[in-house]
Structure 1
Amino acid sequence: MILFPAIDMKDGKAVRLLRGEMDTATVFNEDPAAQAVAFAEQGFQWLHLVDLNGAFEGRPVNAAAVEAVVAAVDLPVQLGGGIRDLATIERWLELGVRRVILGTVAVKNPDLVREACRRFPGRVVLGIDARGGRVAVEGWAEVSEITADDLARRFEDAGAAAIVYTDIDRDGALQGANVSATLALAEAIATPVIASGGVASLDDIAAFLSIADSGIEGVISGRALYDGRLDPASALALLAA
């Protein structure tokens, strides 16, 4: 199971939000590339990047910061936020992003997601962000009527490399991850699931590790890594063991 450290970018800086609200941003590093180097030196094997401004505006906004991260480290990177067309997908993959995460377009343009999975096998991840069980889009500003499970099932035959499942109500709140909802989703589909939202301690890591055989590919953690609640060395050692 992989532990993905998150670098969420707002206005060119590495920040964390509380439950997806942009006005709650806390800046943890002025330089996302420097943060990426720090995570690489700590022993992480992947990076999870999000262009927060892009998620709201529907186009890449923190492109310079993303490119700087990709240039600064040799780690594979998965990127989400503001990726709404095939040209943007292709551009990011050509620039060195290993996997792109498609969220809003999964609801608003599902055919694009299917085409992307077909054209770029193994390099497209489906992002499902849920508030109260319902899928949220446009930077979590809109909540649809589609449930997370229903959306995941719609793309079971599309060939997505994985699904990042985020419980928005837990995100950045340091209240623990929603293990039961993540497990239910993983058991309902064959596509690997990456858990996100509220991962705040070794107990959360251990909880997901105990159900990894159900299809949990990894977990994403952000604020807990930045403020020291989750020790990188201890977390990585737990996964290695």
Structure 2
Amino acid sequence: MILYPAIDLKDGACVRLYKGEMDQATVFNDDPAAQAAAFEAAGCAWLHLVDLNGAFAGAPVNAAAVEAILDCCSVPAQLGGGIRDMATIESWLERGLARVILGTVAVRDPALVKDAAAAFPGKVAVGIDARDGRVAVEGWAETTDVTALDLARRFEDAGVAAIIYTDIDRDGAMQGPNVDATAALANAVSIPVIASGGVSSLDDLRALKASGAPLDGVISGRALYDGQIDVPSAVEILSA
């Protein structure tokens, strides 16, 4: 399993939100590229980037910060937030992103996800952000009637590289991940699933590994910044 350190970008800074609320953002580093370089130096093999402003705007907003990260780091990075058309997908991949994450558009326009996955094999992931099992879109501002499992199954044969599953009520709350829901989703589909939301200790990582589900990796943010998770220790646990 892979540790994906989260670099959430708001107004050009590296922040963490509490349960997805934009007005509850804590700034951890005003130099996202330096933060990314620190994660790489600590042993992280991937980076997970989110353009929070872009998720609300429906178009990239923190492009300069993302490009600075891509320029300074050699490890692959995936990005979500505001990527909702083929031109933006193609542009980001041309600029060096290893993978784009499609969230809102996966609900609004699933055909685009399938077309993109076919055009760019291995470079398109689907972000499924759920509140009480229902998918939330538009920067988590709107909850739909679509279940996380139903959405995941729509892309079962589309060639999607991964599903990033986030339990919104756990995100940034330091209350532990929703292991049962994450494992159930991973066991129900053949697409690799990345766990996200609430991972706050090394024991949380051990619990996700012990679930037995075929998880690709784990995203963690606040716990890495607060020092509650030691990055080299986390990498060792997940890679064992």
CA distance in 1 between counterparts of 2:239 and 2:130 reads 30
For residues 134-154 of structure 1, give each alpha carbon's deviation from its aligned partner in whole angstroms, at most 9, with x where no partner exists: 000000000000000010011
Q: What is the CA-CA distance between 1:236 and the residue it aligns to?
A: 1.6
SS of alignment partner, residue 207 of structure 1:
helix
> Are residue 124 (structure 1) and residue 124 (structure 2) matched?
yes
| Structure 1 unpaired stretches of 5+ | none
| Structure 2 unpaired stretches of 5+ | none
Q: Partner residue of 1:228?
A: 227
Quick check: 1:8–1:16 contact (8 Å CA) kept in 2?
A: yes
CA distance in 2 between counterparts of 1:218 and 1:123 reads 16
CA distance in 1 between counterparts of 2:201 and 2:219 reads 12
Name the % identity. 68
> Are residue 150 (structure 1) and residue 150 (structure 2) matched?
yes
For residues 64-102 of structure 1, give each alpha carbon's deviation from its aligned partner in whole angstroms, at most 9, with x where no partner exists: 000000001001000000000000000000000000000
Q: Partner residue of 2:213?
A: 214
Q: Partner residue of 1:86?
A: 86
Quick check: 1:179–1:208 contact (8 Å CA) kept in 2?
A: yes
For residues 191-214 of structure 1, give each alpha carbon's deviation from its aligned partner in whole angstroms, at most 9, with x where no partner exists: 010000000001111011223x53
Quick check: 2:5–2:48 contact (8 Å CA) kept in 1?
A: yes
Quick check: 2:2–2:239 contact (8 Å CA) kept in 1?
A: no
SS of alignment partner, residue 66 of structure 1:
helix
Q: Partner residue of 2:237?
A: 238
For residues 5-46 of structure 1, give each alpha carbon's deviation from its aligned partner in whole angstroms, at most 9, with x where no partner exists: 000000000000000000000000001000001101111100
> Are residue 188 (structure 1) and residue 188 (structure 2) matched?
yes
TM normalised by structure 2 equals 0.99
> Are residue 198 (structure 1) and residue 225 (structure 2) matched?
no
CA distance in 2 between counterparts of 1:169 and 1:236 reads 25
SS of alignment partner, residue 169 of structure 1:
helix
SS of alignment partner, residue 170 of structure 2:
coil
CA distance in 2 between counterparts of 1:240 and 1:135 reads 30
Write the letter of the residue equivalent to 1:48.
Answer: H
CA distance in 2 between counterparts of 1:4 and 1:240 reads 12
CA distance in 2 between counterparts of 1:118 and 1:239 reads 30
Change (3 A) 1:32 1:22: same
Q: What is the CA-CA distance between 1:235 and the residue it aligns to?
A: 1.1
Q: What is the CA-CA distance between 1:109 and the residue it aligns to?
A: 0.6
| RMSD over aligned Cα atoms | 0.7
CA distance in 2 between counterparts of 1:239 and 1:115 reads 32
Runs of 4+ aligned residues of structure 1 deviating over 3 Å after TM superposition are none
CA distance in 1 between counterparts of 2:39 and 2:186 reads 27
SS of alignment partner, residue 177 of structure 1:
coil
Quick check: 1:164–1:195 contact (8 Å CA) kept in 2?
A: yes
CA distance in 1 between counterparts of 2:210 and 2:125 reads 23
Q: Partner residue of 2:57?
A: 57
TM normalised by structure 1 equals 0.98
CA distance in 2 between counterparts of 1:220 and 1:29 reads 18
SS of alignment partner, residue 26 of structure 1:
strand
> Are residue 20 (structure 1) and residue 20 (structure 2) matched?
yes
Quick check: 2:19–2:170 contact (8 Å CA) kept in 1?
A: yes
SS of alignment partner, residue 82 of structure 2:
coil
Quick check: 1:191–1:215 contact (8 Å CA) kept in 2?
A: no
> Are residue 41 (structure 1) and residue 44 (structure 2) matched?
no
SS of alignment partner, residue 96 of structure 1:
coil
Change (3 A) 1:191 1:240: closer
